């Protein structure tokens, strides 16, 4: 059983090479540029870990992990266009550097490249992997659409936000683990428990992300605290506050959102604290983390096989940056 760090290194060695032909350079150079920006490679490593939970890592798991990472990069390139994001990982996004049209096509061809890697695996298992991959890909698109819809809505319910996060973030983490388990030969019950572990872990991760943006230690967080508040981004914190705030608190919050005063971040944070949304968020995170852990416990493999996933879960949601 290998740790996340070790598998991440190994995946880097496998993945960090050219993925596209040289020509036409106007199409493929943007792809290579974006892949060179790197990333944490969480999703492909989850696929490898899902495999290793049940058996030694198969050759096919490397193909699927590669497909997953290319798929994830496809979503990032297109999301950046939609969000008009100028930077990613401190560098220019594809559409900023090469234009919207090329970014659109570069994303398209990145998705096709993902399927090229999928098509290399054992034909006997390919249809099952493709069904899960396709289902997940559609859900990720649905999540992005809901996210855009929510931006235009005044009120979003917690349940709707949860569903969006699940689609946009959780299902790909869950499916990455499950594809690994399928490749490793896990039984259906174990596959589904691992999927649920990933799904709940993804939600806990997002709650932590929202929490850190508001309450993180600026020294450790590495970026400006309150970025989501400044951008009026709907987060677990904002949505919950709107649900529990008094009439006067709601009025103040709506005013801050609309008027963007200079002291907006401090005043919204004060409202968050008055509504005890910081404590609530930590409890919500712990609840999802506990549920995730229970699913992992229930998987019928030797306990030591689960250790790397336990360590990763702890690391991901107990991080303070």
Cα 118–Cα 190–Cα 44 angle in degrees, nearest 5? 35
Residue 132 beta carbon to a copy of itself: minimum distance, rounded to whole angstroms = 10
- For a copy of itself, the closer of residues 101 and 254 by Cβ is 101
- Distances in Å between the Cα of 226 and the Cα atoms of 209, 212, 229, 278, 285 are 12, 9, 5, 14, 19
Residue 10 beta carbon to a copy of itself: minimum distance, rounded to whole angstroms = 26
Which is nearest to 16 in space by CA: 48, 34, 38, 49?
38
The kind and range of the H/E element at 87 are strand 87-88
Residue 108 beta carbon to a copy of itself: minimum distance, rounded to whole angstroms = 5
Residue 23 beta carbon to a copy of itself: minimum distance, rounded to whole angstroms = 8
- For a copy of itself, the closer of residues 21 and 90 by Cβ is 21
- For a copy of itself, the closer of residues 1 and 126 by Cβ is 126
Measured over the CA atoms of residue 244, residue 271, residue 251 and residue 204, the dihedral's sign is: negative
- DSSP track, 152-172: T-S---HHHHHHHHIIIIIHH
Residue 140 beta carbon to a copy of itself: minimum distance, rounded to whole angstroms = 9
Which is nearest to 140 in space by CA: 75, 61, 47?
75
What whole-number distance in Å separates Cα of residue 290 and Cα of residue 282?
12
Binding site for a copy of itself (CB under 8 A): 24, 26-27, 78, 81-82, 101-102, 104-105, 107-109, 111-113, 115-116, 118-120, 123-124, 126-127, 130-131, 134, 137-138, 141-142, 144-146, 148-149
Residue 137 beta carbon to a copy of itself: minimum distance, rounded to whole angstroms = 4
- For a copy of itself, the closer of residues 90 and 127 by Cβ is 127
- For a copy of itself, the closer of residues 129 and 271 by Cβ is 129
Strand partners, 92: 87
- For a copy of itself, the closer of residues 149 and 298 by Cβ is 149
Give the largest CA-CA distance in the chain.
62
């Amino acid at each position: 059983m290998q740790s996340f760090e070790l598998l991440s290194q190994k995946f880097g060695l496998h993945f960090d090479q050219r993925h596209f032909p040289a020509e036409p350079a106007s199409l493929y150079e943007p792809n290579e540029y974006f892949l060179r920006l790197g990333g944490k490679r969480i999703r492909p490593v989850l696929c490898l870990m899902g495999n290793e939970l049940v058996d030694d890592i198969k050759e096919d798991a490397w193909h699927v992990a590669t497909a997953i990472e290319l798929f994830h990069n496809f979503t990032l390139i297109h999301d950046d266009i939609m969000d008009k994001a100028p930077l990613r990982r401190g560098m220019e996004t594809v559409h900023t550097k090469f234009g919207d049209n090329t970014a659109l096509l570069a994303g398209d061809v990145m998705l096709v490249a993902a399927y090229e890697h999928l098509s290399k695996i054992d034909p006997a298992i390919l249809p099952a992997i493709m069904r899960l991959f396709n289902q997940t890909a559609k859900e990720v698109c649905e999540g992005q659409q809901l996210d855009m819809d929510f931006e235009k809505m005044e009120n979003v319910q917690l349940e709707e936000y949860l569903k969006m996060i699940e689609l946009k973030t959780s299902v790909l983490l869950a499916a990455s683990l499950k594809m690994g388990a399928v490749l490793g030969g896990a039984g259906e019950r174990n596959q589904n428990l691992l999927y649920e572990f990933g799904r709940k872990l993804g939600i806990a991760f997002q709650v932590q992300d929202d929490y850190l943006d508001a309450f993180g230690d600026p020294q450790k967080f590495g970026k400006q605290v309150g970025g989501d508040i400044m951008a009026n981004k709907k987060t677990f914190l904002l949505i919950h506050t709107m649900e529990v705030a008094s009439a006067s608190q709601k009025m103040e919050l709506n005013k801050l959102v609309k008027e963007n005063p200079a002291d907006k971040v401090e005043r919204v944070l004060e409202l968050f604290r008055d509504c005890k949304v910081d404590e609530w968020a930590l409890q919500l995170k712990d609840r999802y983390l506990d549920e995730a852990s229970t699913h992992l416990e229930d998987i019928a493999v030797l306990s030591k096989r689960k250790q790397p996933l336990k360590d990763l879960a702890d690391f991901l949601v107990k991080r303070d940056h």
